Amino acid sequence: MLSTVLEQVVNGIVTGSVYAIVAVGMTMIFGVLRAINFAHGEYYMLGTFGAWFAVDYLGLSYEASIVVGILATIVVAYVVGQLVMRRMVGAPAESGVLATLGIALILQNAVIFVFGGGYKFFSGGYIEPISILGFSLAQQRILILVVCLVVFVGLELMVTYSRLGMAMRAVSQNVECCEVVGIDVPQVVLRTFILGAALAALSGVLTAPVNVSVYGGMGELITFKTLPIIIMGGLGNVRGTFFAAMILGIAESLVATYVGLQFRDTVGFATLILVLMWRPYGLFSTQARF
Amino acid sequence: MSLTETVQQARRRDLRIPLAAVLVVIALAAPYIGSRYVTHSLIIALIFMLPAHGLNLLVGYTGLLSLAQAAFFGIGAYTAGLLAVTYGTPFYVNLIAAGVVSGAIALPLGIPALRLRSTSFVMCTLGFVIIGQAISKNWVSLTRGDMGLSGIPKPYFELGPLSFSVSGTTNFYYLALAIGALATFAAWAIVRSPAGRNMVAIRENETLAESLGVPTWHYKLIVFMLSAVFAGIGGCLYAYYLTVVSPLTFQMYYSTTMLIIVLGGGAGMISGTVFGSLLFVGLTEALRITPELRMIAYGFCLLVLVFWFKKGFAPLINRFWNVIGGVK
Amino acid sequence: MTVPLPLLEIKNLTKSYGAVKAVADVSIHIDRGEIAGLIGPNGSGKSTFFDCSTGLARPDAGTVILDGQDITGWSLNRIAREGRMLRSFQKTVTFKALDVEENLIIAGQMFTFPSIAATFGLGKRSRSRIDGLRERARELIKMAGLWDVRHQPAGNLSGGQQKLIQFASMLMPEPKLILLDEPMAGINPKIIERVVDTILYANRSLGVSFLVIEHNIDVVTSICQRVIVLDQGAKLVEGLPHDIVQDQRVREAYLGG
Ligand SMILES: Nc1ncnc2c1ncn2[C@@H]1O[C@H](COP(=O)(O)OP(=O)(O)OP(=O)(O)O)[C@@H](O)[C@H]1O
Ligand SMILES: [Mg+2]
């Protein structure tokens, strides 16, 4: 009994890691842009599709497909960033909502248009289970955990010490001041956005071997799950996002086991609504904090 | 903006009555002018016009961006479908019930949601759609889950000794046209009333409106409920037209469609919403574009509306009304 | 002989923002028919005092009594509607997309229609109510000298003209008491004269009492019967205008002593 609970918790942490890598990009974008990116899950989908294409059509190895997936996403994100995200600097919140909803529609349906709407099978990855401390866990899941930790430690360091990180913090504090002291705000937004999209793609290619199925609508589902996470994490807050993602991952896996699998995907929004009612500005902080 | 009078200059001939006559004739003759497929496209446009009118009250007049419209559309569809299939109640009973149930559910949802500001409110309303879909999928004893409700009968009327069903595309078109016209009139009456002026005041500056005695909270709640009533009625028509209701009625994509109708047609004007539903829903339906291409086109529409064509067709329609109304 | 009840009585009003005590234990009263001034250096808590008295912000402590009725904790709209105590904002605000006439009609609506439900009416009663409001609006527009621009969107007008709109809006509902937050700031002397005239007219002919925050000391001494001075959230002194101008403590407060 206890061991199944523990197993579900471990599974939940793996799921939480997947969400965390996606959500952290979304929350950083919010930090610099003050806008929610409703298309963020689509970059997760693009990464997965890129990798699937590399494995299935080009016959590349899984390792190479990771690179292909992420690079393809970066290219798309660069175009979207140049054409759309830069324009969102200083625009009202509603414009951001509508513009990113539009991008989500375009990306998702363009992929369905090109590759068809059906489910595709992802072959590749390290699915061999190994056992640690009495648990049997697929290697891929361990990889996800490790990458998640590396990503978050890396982001902490980057935000604290690198030029881009410092610029990001500055922009998230006060856009007008940044413009006065000569920080190129649209450039910071563009780079943060591409970084976030690349992280979402990374999460996608890492999860593909575990989820196996690849389809055009998968990004939307991820967007719907990351939205509650970044709100609960306190918009713009990297550490809060990490914890919120873990909480959601664990909650989902427990609900799937003990309440019913069909309720898993609603946990996020149900908690989100409750949290919003209780604390309209999120759980962990009221301001952007990197 | 319909509430800002334009400066009156040399009056020309007032063409409003002839225009109305022409429009009525075209609307009535449409099924005989175009093909059956055109009639079908017009029906879909009329159905989507209903929730769009509700959304226009919310977004265009009161300034609240909401994605919840698909949720109330779905609630209306299920209410009407369940009543028709389970109890065989006449169409107009189900139509009213769909509006009332949607509006009633909007009250407990609106009370917490309207406390939130801008993006948080948008996300909360998105949550309603997602949770609505989950409930319709999982409350199998009521909704039959993924299978959905099927076999919704033709719209059936029972007026005293007279009872009849509306069958065939052409007749359904007239039914939709009648309801659409009534809803358009209702929306027009709401925005023309003093309450409509208060709604615009809330959109322009909520605190100022409040300081002048306008109970903004009550108005926002009422408008949120009214928007749900419009959506519920639209959902009812949709259920009758398709004869099936499935959890897919709760789709974010529908909310997006309604937003495009309102913003593209011109937010804050009733004729804009009518025009928007004909253009964005009727035309794309009539052109038989594949769903993917249509959604891609909608995506581009949203981008264009946000960055370049901010007021949609509103300025154009305004100029048109000025010409028609005899103002130079 | 009984002392008449003051129109507005505020007792021990207190409000903190975090560590800042914006208003500390301030008690004042406004008599019927009076024009009182509220002055004090920048950041002394004048606007916050208004916010807490009118329901825009919730005071931490204290009571607000209007016309013998305890209105503490009422919302901004209820205080305006039921109490007929209106306020202006330091930052000029108007309904920018609407024309001047519509701005004023909105200001009168909630005082003319008996309920929210009634405002949804389109019938004869509703129309005649709106016609009445429009007439009143036009009178006030004339008085404020905005007749020529009455059909222009408020957002297109100058800051001074918008201040006049704001002020005229507050006269629409036949108020008992108006709280003005810096009505003369940033407007030219000609319009200052106009605002002063309108305040005096409203006070004498319409019987409206005023509490006016103003940095322009000449205006304060010329129109106010009594002046209250705030400093660092607390009430420093109150008294006749020319005494206040002479007061050593007030001078020190302004010089940042
Ligand atoms: N919403 C708020 N949040 C935090 N602090 C506030 C807030 N509003 C006011 N304060 C603080 O309260 C104090 C009083 O401010 P207030 O605006 O009431 O002063 P004031 O007398 O109106 O000044 P001025 O003459 O410049 O208008 C200031 O120190 C201000 O920083
Ligand atoms: Mg002030």
Residue B265 · residue B258 · CB < 8 Å: no
Residue A288 has a pLDDT of 40
| E strand or H helix at B197 | helix B194-204
d(CA C107, CA C93): 13
B1 band by pLDDT with thresholds 50, 70 and 90? very low
Cβ proximity of B279 and B265 under 8 Å: yes
Which residue of B115, B137, B303 is in closest CB contact with A102?
B303
**Segments forming the whole domain that contains residue C96:** 92-173
pLDDT average, residue stretch C170-184: 90
Q: Supply the pLDDT for residue B327.
A: 63
Q: Which residues of A touch B303 (CB under 8 A)?
A: 84, 99, 102-103, 106
Q: Which residues contact A203 (CB under 8 A, 6 or more apart)?
A: A18, A19, A21, A22, A44, A47
A113 or B317, greater pLDDT: A113
Whether ligand 1 lies within 6 angstroms of the CB of C48 is answered as yes
Query: Which C positions 120-139 lie with beta carbon below 8 A of chain B?
Result: 120-122, 126, 129-130
Residue A238 has pLDDT above 80, yes or no: yes
Domain assignment present for B107 = yes
So what's the ipTM on this one? 0.92
d(CA A25, CA A203): 11
Q: Is the CB of C248 under 6 A from ligand 1?
A: no
Summary mean pLDDT of chain A: 85
Evaluate the CA torsion angle C8, C13, C16, C19 in order and state its sign. positive
pLDDT digits (tens, 9 = 90+) for C120-164: 988 889 899 999 999 999 999 998 888 999 899 999 998 888 888
Q: What is the pLDDT of residue A1?
A: 60
Q: Of C173, C194, C210, which residue constitutes the final position of a domain?
A: C173
Residue B190 contacts C where some CB pair is shorter than 8 Å? yes
Q: Report the nearest atom of ligand 1 relative to the CA of C45.
A: 18
Asked whether the beta carbons of residue B302 and residue A272 sit closer than 8 angstroms, the reply is no
Q: Is residue C240 domain-shared with residue C136, that is, in the same domain?
A: no
Q: How many CB atoms lie within 10 A of CB C231?
A: 20
Do C190 and C246 reside in the same domain of the chain?
yes
Instruction: Evaluate: CB of C8 within 6 angstroms of ligand 1.
Output: no
Cα–Cα distances in angstroms (integers) from residue B61 to residues B107, B223, B227, C157, in the given order? 19, 9, 11, 23
Nearest-neighbour CA in chain B from C102: distance (Å): 8
Q: In whole angstroms, how far apart are CA C84 and each of B124, C71, C178, C179, C221?
A: 36, 12, 8, 11, 26
Q: Which of C154, C173, C192 is the last residue of a domain?
A: C173
At B138 the pLDDT is: 83
In chain B, how many domains are there? Answer: 1
**Annotated domain spans of chain A:** 2-123+136-279
**What was the pLDDT predicted at B115?**
85
Pair (C182, C144) in one structural domain: no
Q: Model pTM?
A: 0.90
In a domain? residue B3: no
Beta-carbon-side half-sphere exposure of residue B62 (alpha carbons within 13 Å): 29
Three-state secondary-structure class, residue A112: helix
Verify whether ligand 1 is closer than 6 Å to residue C16 (CB atom).
Answer: no
Q: Is C157 on the interface with B (CB under 8 A)?
A: no
B87 in a structural domain = yes
At residue C256 the predicted structure's pLDDT band, cuts being 50, 70 and 90, is low
Among A129-143, C58-72, C184-198, C239-253, the least confident range: A129-143
In a domain, B45, yes or no: yes
Return the DSSP state at B283.
Answer: I
Nearest CA distance, B256 vs chain C (angstrom): 26
What single letter denotes the amino acid at residue B150? Answer: S
Residue A6: is its pLDDT beyond 90? Answer: no
C118 with C74, same domain? no
Q: Is B144 left (phi over 0), alpha (psi -120 to 50) or beta?
A: left
Do B69 and B235 contact (CB within 8 A), yes or no?
A: no
What's the average model confidence in pLDDT over C48-57?
A: 92
Mapped onto helix, strand or coil, the DSSP state of residue C123 is coil
Residue C232 sits in a domain of what CATH number? Answer: 3.40.50.300
**Which CATH class name applies to A2-123+136-279?**
mainly alpha
The pLDDT assigned to C2 comes to 60
Average pLDDT rounded to a whole number, residues B318-323: 82
Average pLDDT, chain C: 88
Which ligand sits nearest to residue C49's alpha carbon?
1
For residue C142, the number of C-alpha atoms closer than 13 Å in the C-beta half-sphere is 5
For C9, how many CA atoms within 13 A lie in the half-sphere containing its CB?
Answer: 9
- What confidence category does residue C242 fall into, taking pLDDT thresholds of 50, 70 and 90? confident
C206 lines ligand 1 (CB under 6 A): no
pLDDT tens track for B288-305 = 888 888 889 889 988 988
- Inside any domain, residue B79: yes
The pLDDT score that the predictor gives to residue A279 is 64
Q: What is the pLDDT of residue B6?
A: 45
Q: How confident is the model at residue A93 (pLDDT cuts 50, 70, 90)?
A: confident
User: pLDDT above 70 covers what percent of chain A?
Assistant: 93
Choose the final residue of a domain: C173, C194, C217.
C173
More confident call, A290 vs B200: B200
**Residue B13 domain flag:** no
